[in-house]
Structure 1
Amino acid sequence: MRVDTARAVAVDWVRERMRADPSVEGALFSGSTVGLPDDAELPVWSDVDVLLVRDSPGVKVGKFVHRGVLLEVSSVTWAEVGEPEDVLGSWVFAPMFRTDGVIADPSGRLAAVRRRVATGFADPVWVRRRCAGVRRRIEDGLRVLDAGAPLAEQVLAWVFPTSLVAVWPAVAGLVDPTVRRRYVRASEVLAGHGFGGRYPQLLAAVDGGGVGAGRVREHLAGLAVVFDEVARLPREGFAFGADLAVAGRPVVFDGGAALVAAGRHREAMFWVVVTYARCLVVLGAVAPERERALRPGLVAVLADLQVVSAADRRRRADAVLASLPGWQSVVDAIVARAVAG
């Protein structure tokens, strides 16, 4: 399906939602489709992300298929969006407003943010501020890892801040860092700015040096069993619960298989470990006996990544923290080149 066709379906859904729910005061596209040309093909494993804006917090609608399009709908408040300058300094929100991704805006507030971000997005002051925000998130996440938390929670607390090192050069290069494919984006940005030789170090920070394609396929097969079990369970209250729904299955497995087929099996392991850990977090809360029974699958993934123990993850985190000054030099150089144009 073409991107413009998928977007049109999303727009129709938003209009229907706003008619039924007056608390929705605006909407915009977010995620990987932002900035894609209308005639681009949307892979079957990609969803169309939509952000609903409200005055007060709302429940995340989730991931679902609507008229043949996989939508992922989330909510945010006006306070969370902030003023235009807040958005310009946010590596999370700024990419959503750099192009005309506003779907509905009765008050005109989103348009005002959009105009300010569009004109200032590449200003080096704001680019550096967004990059500084990424570095702070890495440091804040990796400095304190709770070795007493359940295993799956420990893994998520380690892997996401670690993966933000891949987000950092993407933000510097004015590229939207998507969640699942952030390592692919990082490799492209680093190569494009003459730092391709640094990418193996970046990838090794999460996978310890590499897992073969065959082994990644084995982990995907094992994860499928766990995923399908969790998809049948209640997941309310989990921020990532929608990602574990039946509708989200192609994102994980078709998308993962595509990465492996493209020779990006090491990059695929990032989302394998994330999804495995998320599944076990849900099981630990709603079916503890099944979490214990299925935990060896996650342990096998961690063994291949060489981070089985809390001490292993602490050492890997410390190595990442020690590498940040070197990455700062790379990021600064990318910013200088990107804003120069």
Structure 2
Amino acid sequence: MTVTAAAARQAAWGWVEATARSMPGYRATFLAGSITSLPDEAIVPPWSDTDIMVVLDGEAPAKAGKFRSRGALLEGTFLSRASLTDPETVLDSYHAAHAVAIGVILDDPTGWLADIQPVVRREFPHRHRVESRCATARAGVERGFDAMDGTGSLAVQAQSWVFPTGVMTHVLLVAGLRNPTVRRRYETVHELLEAHDRLDLHERLLEVLGCQGMDRMGVDRHLQTVTRLFDAAAPVQAASYRFASDITAVARPISIDGSQDMIDRGFHREAVFWLVVTGSRALQKLQHGLGPAAAASFEDGFTDLLGDLGIVRFGDFVERREQALALLPEVWEAAQDIMDATAQIVP
């Protein structure tokens, strides 16, 4: 079933009317991500969801996750108003700043969000704002690596390594005023670095991830392994696992079909990041839902994926972390150059 951008936005509004508006402390809703730039008649790719950001007073509950409504694939995320309390607070967060700056307000009963958004949009491209957001992303890399301690299952250790490694791309994407996307971050940073004649740095980013030398056949093989792992975990009930809704039949087009699309378009190496994330999350869902012993029977394929990335023991995670941290100053220098060359950035 094909869904137009207009239909996806209508489905999002329908969910807001039926569900979000009646939640305690409801303040506003806006759309974020790629849906904000698509014309009404555009077809939303089946591996792209529509991001609905719901702002609530008080502490934000767990996200609504991914679900279908009127044929559209939606994802509801709850934000505490405290995280968006004023423009300065928003501008300090590189994820929130980009989301609010490009966001499309769906519902704002008090006009509170409509007052904040123009200020965020005006301040968003100023050099000191951009540099501050880049610094926040860089700190996220360092903080994430600091949290690696060798405890937890193989899946937990892999996730604690791969995410701060991937946040290095966000330092660069923020510098170029690009969306600090999640699944497609390595493809998006390839586009950015190609535009700035720095594909050498892209190769270094892939090198510290461990997939620089991977060919399409090898990545295809790992996708099939991750697919089997995903399909085993999808029907398992694991309410205690934060990312359970990402490993379901509804979410399959994003992680599995979306990865296949990247491979088919020649971005097989860039797809590896999300294969690691998806395999890790599927294993963790199995651990939460069925117990560690049952999950262990599915680990072999994930171990093979990590092995092809050069990781066979915790010490390899540590070594790869040190390689990434050694590359971080070069990433920061490149971010400065990108800011210098980006015409939309103003003093």
**Equivalent residue in structure 1 for 2:179, among 155, 169, 176:** 176
In structure 2, C-alpha distance between the alignment counterparts of 1:83 and 1:9, rounded to whole Å: 29
The alignment status of 1:300 with 2:304, answered yes or no, reads: yes
> Structure 2: which 5+ residue stretches go unaligned?
none
**Equivalent residue in structure 1 for 2:5, among 3, 6, 27:** 3
**Equivalent residue in structure 1 for 2:133, among 130, 133, 141:** 130
In structure 2, C-alpha distance between the alignment counterparts of 1:295 and 1:31, rounded to whole Å: 33
The change in CA–CA distance for 1:89 and 1:284 in structure 2 (over 3 A counts) is same
* 1:123-175 deviation per Cα after TM superposition (whole angstroms, max 9, x unaligned): 01110110000000001111341113211111000000000111111110001
* 1:38-60 deviation per Cα after TM superposition (whole angstroms, max 9, x unaligned): 44331111110111111122232
The alignment status of 1:198 with 2:183, answered yes or no, reads: no
Structure-2 residue corresponding to 1:149: 152
Letter of the 1:79 counterpart: A
Structure-2 residue corresponding to 1:331: 335
The alignment status of 1:140 with 2:139, answered yes or no, reads: no
Deviation at 1:235, TM superposition (A): 2.4
Structure-2 residue corresponding to 1:91: 94
Deviation at 1:22, TM superposition (A): 4.7
* 1:37-85 deviation per Cα after TM superposition (whole angstroms, max 9, x unaligned): 4443311111101111111222321111111100011111101223211
Structure-1 residue corresponding to 2:15: 13
Deviating 4+ runs (over 6 angstroms):
none
User: Are the equivalent residues in 2 in contact too, given 1:138–1:165 (CA < 8 A)?
Assistant: yes
Deviation at 1:206, TM superposition (A): 1.0
User: Are the equivalent residues in 1 in contact too, given 2:20–2:54 (CA < 8 A)?
Assistant: no
1:142-291 equivalent positions in 2, closer than 5 A: 142-287=145-290, 288-291=292-295
- Which SS does the other structure have where 2:251 is aligned? helix
Deviation at 1:305, TM superposition (A): 0.9
* 1:200-255 deviation per Cα after TM superposition (whole angstroms, max 9, x unaligned): 11122212423221222222222222212211111213221111121000101111
The alignment status of 1:44 with 2:46, answered yes or no, reads: yes
In structure 1, C-alpha distance between the alignment counterparts of 2:176 and 2:41, rounded to whole Å: 24
RMSD value, Cα: 1.6
User: Are the equivalent residues in 2 in contact too, given 1:34–1:96 (CA < 8 A)?
Assistant: no
User: Are the equivalent residues in 1 in contact too, given 2:33–2:103 (CA < 8 A)?
Assistant: no
1:105-116 equivalent positions in 2, closer than 5 A: 105-116=108-119
Letter of the 2:97 counterpart: A
Letter of the 1:323 counterpart: L
Letter of the 2:23 counterpart: D
**Equivalent residue in structure 1 for 2:33, among 31, 34, 46:** 31
Letter of the 1:324 counterpart: L
- State the percentage of identical aligned residues: 33
In structure 2, C-alpha distance between the alignment counterparts of 1:124 and 1:218, rounded to whole Å: 44
Structure-1 residue corresponding to 2:324: 320
Letter of the 2:307 counterpart: A
TM-score when normalising by structure 1: 0.95
Number of equivalent positions: 341
